[in-house]
Amino acid sequence: MVSWSEGSSSSDGYSVTSEAPAPATIFCSEWTGLAPDLEARCEHQCVCEKFVCFESVDSGRRYLACAQKEIPKCKFVEWIDPEWPATLKMSLARVWGMYDDENKLRISENLHLAEENLRVVREKEKMDKELRFFKLDFAKMVADKEQAITELGNARLVVSDLKQELEKKKLSDKSSTSIHKFVRAKAEKERDEMKQQMDSMKEQMDNMKEELDKVVSQRDDLKK
Distances (CA, A) of 65 to 6, 39, 55: 15, 12, 17
**Percent of the chain residues topping a pLDDT of 90:** 15
Name the residue among 180, 131, 192 with its Cα closest to residue 156: 192
pTM of the model: 0.45
For 106-138, the DSSP string reads HHHHHHHHHHHHHHHHHHHHHHHHHHHHHHHHH
* Measured distance CA(11)–CA(94) in Å, rounded: 29
Tens digit of pLDDT for each residue in 69-114?
888 888 899 999 999 999 998 989 899 899 889 889 999 889 888 8
Q: What is the pLDDT of residue 16?
A: 54
Q: Are 170 and 180 in contact (CB under 8 A)?
A: yes
**Given pLDDT bands bounded at 50, 70 and 90, which one contains residue 62?**
very high
Tens digit of pLDDT for each residue in 133-177?
878 888 888 888 888 888 888 888 888 888 887 777 766 666 656
